[in-house]
Structure formats: C-alpha cells, structure tokens
C-alpha cells in the first residue's frame, strides 16, 4: 500500500483540486479538506498546535469526539506554518516530538519543469517535456527580472560573464531596483559569480571544517512574503550555475513551483543557514550541515497535489528515497549521477527480485568510492542499469515511480541530494517528491531519452496482462483485428472509465475518458501492426489487456 494516498480518483486529474487528499508522515496522517486539516495520529497523544510568525501562539487543535486519535485544524489563514508539539502515549514509542504543518496557499500551484538536454516526447502522456538547451540560464534570469520584493539564493557553484550581464547582472539589477537580496554560497567552492555581485548585497559563505560538508543547494526563493499569493516561487533542482552545468553539456533540470506555502518553507530553511530573518546574516546563530534542525513542513497541498519537501541532513531524505523505491507498483525509472549508499542499492535489488522487472537506471560514468553501479548491474542486469553515453556529466538525481500506473501513486523525486552518505549526513541539500502523473511523466521523457541514448531498451510494464479472472471483466473483439477494435464490459460501469493504449515500446497512442462505460470502439488503422497494451481504469480497479493489429 502507498504511504501517500490520493483519496480522489487519481486519473481524473481535474477533480483533484476539489477533493480531499492525504499524506502519511512519521506519526500521523495529514488529510486536507476544503475547510480544515485533519491530523490522525497512530497512537493516543497529548498535542498542542502553535501558529503566528514565530509559531509561538497556541491555536485551537480540537480532538474529534468520535476518534480519539484525530485532531482538527480549521479556520486558519492560507500559507500558515503550524507547529505541533505532541507526546505519544503507549505503543512503546513514547516521547515528546515536534512536527510542522503547512496550510494550503491561495497560489496558482503551477509547476514547470525545464531540461537543458533533449527529451523523448514520444513518451509524453499529455504535456511534452521542455528542453531549453543552453538557454536554461535565460529562464532563471527571467524569473530574477520578475522578482519584486525578496530574493533568497542558496547556490553551490556559479558563474557569470560580468557584473552587468548574465545571472550576476540580473541579481545586481534586482538589488538596484529595491529587491532585498540575500545570498548563501559554498565556502569551499570558487564560485566566480560571487565577487561580481554588488558589494552591498549581503552574502554568507558556508563554514568549512571537518564537521561540515558542502552547501550543495541550488535553490532560489522569490517574493516569499508577497501580498499577492501568485508571486512567490521556488526554483530548485540539480543544476549549478556554471556554464557546463546550466548550459551543458552536463545534464540537468530545474523545477519551478508557484506556491506561497512552499516558498515560506524554503525561506525557513534559508534563514536557518542565514542565522536571521533580516537582511543581515548572523553567523553566530546560523546552522549548517549536521547542526540543522528538522523544522519545516514535509507535506504541502499544491494545486490539489501532494508535494513533499525534505532538507538534508536534518530530515532523513535517504529514508524517503528508499520509501519511494518501495512504493513502486509498476515501474521504476532512475537517472542519477551516482549511488554509493548500500541501503538504496539493496532496496532496488529487492524490488527487482520481487518482480518489478521494469526497474531501469541510467548513471554517470564516474566511479566514486563505494559506487553501487557494478553491483546493480550484476543483480538487476547490465541491460537495465546503463552508463550514460553522452558528453558531459549526467548530473541528474531524479526517480520516476509508476509512470505507467495512474491509479497507483505516480511520483517524481528530484533535487540536489546525491544518493550518497555525504548528502545524507553532512551536506546542505533539498529534495522534493511531487505526487503527480503529469510532472512525473515529463521527467520520464527526459529519462527515456538518456536511457535509450545509453543503449537501454525501454521496458513496457504493461506487457503482462492481468490474470484471466480480472481481465475477463472486459472483452476485446475482433482480436486480432486489422485496426478497428471494440472493448465491451460485462456490465455497465458507473462513473468515469479511463482507457489508455500503449504500443510495445510503452508510448501512449490513445487516451479516452468514457462516462457510464459499457462499450467503446477504437480505431488503430493508422498505427503499425503489432501488439498493443490496454489499461482500463475506473472505480472497480485497473485492468491490463492485450490486442493485436495485423
């Protein structure tokens, strides 16, 4: 079972915004309703909730009389960050704990994804992924140019041609027009952009000694506190701002999310490193690396989607990577620079060994100490674990889960966090998990390009039909056919039925939503001869069938 359950019918994406959605955290399940948030604890608790700017004002946190485990937050302003203090009672896991809840924003919830390399739109399930090539930096500059009040930057490595051009020029222009600019950068990396910034812009280098790792973030928070909820943005992903990273040939992506609640969560993380909520950093108060606290929300309701956010090393991102692997029901598709954690490789091998044969990876050519690639190739197969064959560094750190299963929990995990112990224990990193088929599929298109370029053959997980007992709820006739097929149900199905057809390579070639389904005629006369895979999904479940055109 998934830890993140969309209680609405997931394939009807347009209904999600109006439906309740849930997400499981360590000790409780969060359920977002239109006018309230329910917190269902796993054990009896003593709990209090606090709001306000500093999260020090106690607010009503009502226990449901009908369910002693469930508490309710309601009548709260949008984009509020709420602190929960609670004590678990019983169950052998007693103790005082703290969690953070974000109320939904009034923002648009728009999510945009950009790549700096080709993608394979043959695998698009509706929205083509965007390849900006060597203009990804121009996209970042356009967002900086649109910033009106605050600009918080945490960047590992950066370049700009001059103080008046490129990214530095855009930042300096923003500062000159009155935007509050704050910049955090890695103290051990020679970022040539930093000296080009206006000397009046406050900057803070991360500390460098044996106790710290890299300040490896690549995020920007725009206008987090804007009165207009449609202004705040978060830019993050895998790309640094050097020429080879953002323009290529290194392979990278950026994800941009328009949501005030998420922006405020990232602002909390920024200010923890900054040591201050003002324009001036206070190094004495700042926290980096292993000294940071788990003090931000991990679940956001963004436009009706669950988006999880984790910062390293405080939030246990490595565990979330493994949970995402274990959540896969149909397919698992990974583009990551490296894997040096044995617990991650073990999870992948276990998943494959237990029947998830559509487990596919593409990794960079580098071979760091502890690299798990050779083990993965031995256990999963070199045909499924490919080495990137393109020029430059395959710098991604993303995973797409269940691209082919809209009724599972399709997701993409993405961010700056390499799958290494340094990222888990010392580095400052950020990770997002977006539970949305459309966004996940855009990353899948990038994966498909890189995987096939490396010699991989896309495995279509739908090539195995359901058991006859389940598949026999539907009949396809004539089958084989020269192009016209009829799909008939044993009995009429109430509500909506989602019909998708994929070719042998896994590309979707047909999609229709039918109300009160009993029979549908499908014309594939323009498609080449071969085997096609049908997915029929509705309230009764998901059925996989085959049909043959000859």
pLDDT of residue 19 exceeding 80: no
- CB neighbourhood size of 445 (10 A): 25
pLDDT value for 146: 98
Tokens 């274990």 -> residue: 326
Tell me what the mean pLDDT of segment 109-116 comes to: 98
pLDDT band at 189 (very low <50, low <70, confident <90, very high): very high
**Verdict on whether the full-model pTM lies above 0.75:** yes
- Helix then strand count (H, E) for the chain reads 9, 29
Note whether residue 32 is domain-resident: yes
**CATH code of the domain covering residue 492:** 2.60.40.3080
pLDDT digits (tens, 9 = 90+) for 59-81: 999 887 667 799 999 999 999 99
The domain total for the chain is 4
* Judgement on whether residues 330 and 183 belong to the same structural domain of the protein: no
Q: Does residue 95 come out as left (phi exceeding 0), alpha (psi in the -120 to 50 range) or beta?
A: left
Note whether residue 161 is domain-resident: yes
Note whether residue 467 is domain-resident: no
Residue after which a domain boundary falls, among 103, 133, 162 = 103
Measure the CA–CA gap between 476 and 521, rounded to whole angstroms: 10
pLDDT of residue 373 exceeding 90: yes
Tell me what the mean pLDDT of segment 330-334 comes to: 96
Note whether residue 469 is domain-resident: no
**CATH code of the domain covering residue 56:** 2.60.40.10
Note whether residue 13 is domain-resident: no
pLDDT value for 64: 73
Contact 116, 136 (CB under 8 A): yes
- CB neighbourhood size of 175 (10 A): 17
pLDDT value for 5: 38
CA-closest candidate to residue 534, choices 490, 499, 509: 499
* Judgement on whether residues 149 and 293 belong to the same structural domain of the protein: yes
pLDDT of residue 15 exceeding 60: no
* Judgement on whether residues 393 and 489 belong to the same structural domain of the protein: no
Tell me what the mean pLDDT of segment 200-226 comes to: 97
Residue after which a domain boundary falls, among 36, 69, 103 = 103
pLDDT digits (tens, 9 = 90+) for 113-147: 999 999 999 999 989 999 999 999 999 999 999 99
* Judgement on whether residues 39 and 184 belong to the same structural domain of the protein: no
In the predicted model, what is the mean pLDDT of the chain?
A: 91
* Judgement on whether residues 276 and 334 belong to the same structural domain of the protein: no
* Judgement on whether residues 518 and 449 belong to the same structural domain of the protein: no
Write the DSSP string, 83-124: EEEEEE-STT--EEEEEEEE---SS---EEEEESS---GGG-
pLDDT of residue 13 exceeding 80: no
pLDDT value for 547: 87
**CATH code of the domain covering residue 426:** 3.30.870.10
* Judgement on whether residues 52 and 67 belong to the same structural domain of the protein: yes
Residue after which a domain boundary falls, among 77, 103, 129 = 103
List Cβ neighbours of 381 (8 Å cut-off, separation of 6 or more): none
Contact 273, 206 (CB under 8 A): yes
Tell me what the mean pLDDT of segment 166-175 comes to: 99
Contact 543, 533 (CB under 8 A): no
pLDDT digits (tens, 9 = 90+) for 522-536: 999 999 998 898 888
* Judgement on whether residues 297 and 368 belong to the same structural domain of the protein: no
pLDDT of residue 465 exceeding 80: no
Measure the CA–CA gap between 321 and 354, rounded to whole angstroms: 18
Q: How many CA atoms lie within 13 A of 538 on its CB side?
A: 20
pLDDT digits (tens, 9 = 90+) for 277-307: 999 999 999 999 999 999 999 999 999 999 9
pLDDT value for 16: 38
* Judgement on whether residues 85 and 123 belong to the same structural domain of the protein: no
- Cα 111 to chain center, whole Å? 10
pLDDT value for 470: 39
Write the DSSP string, 483-511: SEEEEEEEEEEEEEEEEEEE-TTS-EEEE
Phi, psi angles (nearest 5°) of residue 76: -100, 150
pLDDT digits (tens, 9 = 90+) for 307-322: 999 999 999 999 999 9
Note whether residue 154 is domain-resident: yes
Burial-class residue 68 by CB neighbours within 10 Å (0-12, 13-18, 19+): exposed
Q: Which residues pair with 333 in a beta bridge?
A: 360, 400
* Judgement on whether residues 200 and 118 belong to the same structural domain of the protein: yes
Sign of the dihedral defined by the CA atoms of residues 387, 390, 396, 402, in that order: negative
Query: Dihedral through CA 11, CA 101, CA 69, CA 43, nearest 10?
Result: 100
pLDDT of residue 93 exceeding 70: no
pLDDT value for 65: 66
Note whether residue 468 is domain-resident: no
pLDDT value for 467: 40
pLDDT value for 466: 46
Note whether residue 176 is domain-resident: yes
pLDDT of residue 420 exceeding 50: yes
* Judgement on whether residues 300 and 202 belong to the same structural domain of the protein: yes
- Which residues constitute the domain of residue 532? 474-549
pLDDT of residue 173 exceeding 90: yes
* Judgement on whether residues 361 and 400 belong to the same structural domain of the protein: yes
Measure the CA–CA gap between 265 and 298, rounded to whole angstroms: 9
């Amino acid at each position: 079972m998934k830890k993140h359950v969309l209680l609405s019918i997931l394939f009807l994406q347009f209904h999600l915004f109006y439906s309740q959605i849930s997400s499981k955290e360590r000790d409780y399940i969060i359920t977002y309703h239109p006018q309230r948030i329910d917190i269902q604890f796993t054990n009896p608790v003593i709990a209090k909730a606090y709001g306000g700017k500093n999260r020090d004002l106690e607010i009503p946190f009502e226990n449901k009389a009908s369910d002693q485990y469930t508490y309710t937050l309601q009548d709260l302003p949008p984009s509020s960050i709420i602190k929960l203090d609670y004590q678990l009672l019983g169950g052998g896991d007693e103790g005082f704990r703290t969690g953070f809840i974000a109320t939904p924003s009034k923002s648009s919830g728009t999510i945009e994804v950009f790549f700096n390399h080709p993608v394979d739109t043959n695998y698009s399930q509706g929205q083509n992924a965007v390849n900006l090539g060597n203009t990804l930096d121009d996209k970042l500059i356009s967002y900086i140019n649109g910033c009106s009040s605050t600009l918080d930057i945490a960047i590992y490595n950066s370049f700009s041609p001059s103080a008046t051009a490129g990214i530095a020029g855009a930042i300096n222009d923003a500062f000159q027009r009155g935007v509050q600019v704050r910049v955090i950068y890695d103290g051990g990396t020679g970022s040539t952009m930093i000296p080009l910034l206006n000397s009046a812009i406050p900057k803070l280098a991360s500390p460098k000694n044996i106790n710290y790792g890299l300040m490896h973030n690549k995020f920007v928070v725009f206008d987090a506190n804007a009165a207009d909820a449609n202004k705040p943005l978060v830019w993050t992903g895998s790309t640094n701002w050097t020429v080879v990273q953002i323009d290529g040939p290194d392979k990278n992506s950026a994800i941009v999310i328009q949501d005030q609640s998420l922006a405020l969560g990232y602002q909390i993380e920024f200010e923890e490193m900054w040591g201050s909520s003002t324009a001036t950093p206070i190094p004495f108060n700042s926290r980096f690396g292993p000294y940071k606290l788990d003090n931000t929300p991990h679940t956001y309701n963004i436009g009706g989607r669950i988006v999880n956010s984790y910062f390293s090393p405080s939030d246990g991102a490595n565990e979330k990577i493994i949970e995402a692997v274990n959540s896969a029901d149909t397919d698992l598709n990974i583009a990551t620079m490296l894997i040096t954690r044995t617990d991650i490789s073990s999870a992948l091998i276990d998943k494959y060994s237990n029947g998830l044969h559509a487990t596919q990876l593409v990794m960079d050519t580098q071979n760091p100490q502890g690299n798990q690639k050779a083990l993965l190739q031995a256990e999963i197969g070199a045909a499924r674990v490919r080495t990137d064959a393109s020029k430059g560094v395959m710098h991604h750190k993303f995973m797409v889960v269940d691209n082919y299963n809209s009724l599972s929990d399709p997701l993409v995990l993405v961010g700056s966090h390499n799958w290494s112990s340094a990222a888990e224990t010392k580095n400052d990193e950020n990770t997002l998990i977006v539970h949305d088929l459309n966004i996940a599929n855009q990353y899948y298109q990038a994966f498909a390009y890189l995987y096939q370029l490396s010699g991989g053959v896309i495995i279509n997980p739908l090539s195995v039909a359901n058991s006859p007992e389940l598949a026999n709820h539907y009949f396809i006739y004539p089958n084989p056919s020269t192009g016209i097929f009829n799909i008939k149900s044993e009995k009429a199905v109430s509500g909506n039925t989602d019909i998708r057809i994929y070719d042998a390579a896994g590309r979707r070639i047909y999609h229709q939503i039918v109300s009160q389904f009993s029979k549908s005629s499908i014309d594939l006369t323009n498609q080449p001869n071969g085997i096609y895979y049908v997915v029929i999904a509705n309230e009764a479940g998901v059925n996989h069938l085959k049909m043959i055109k000859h």
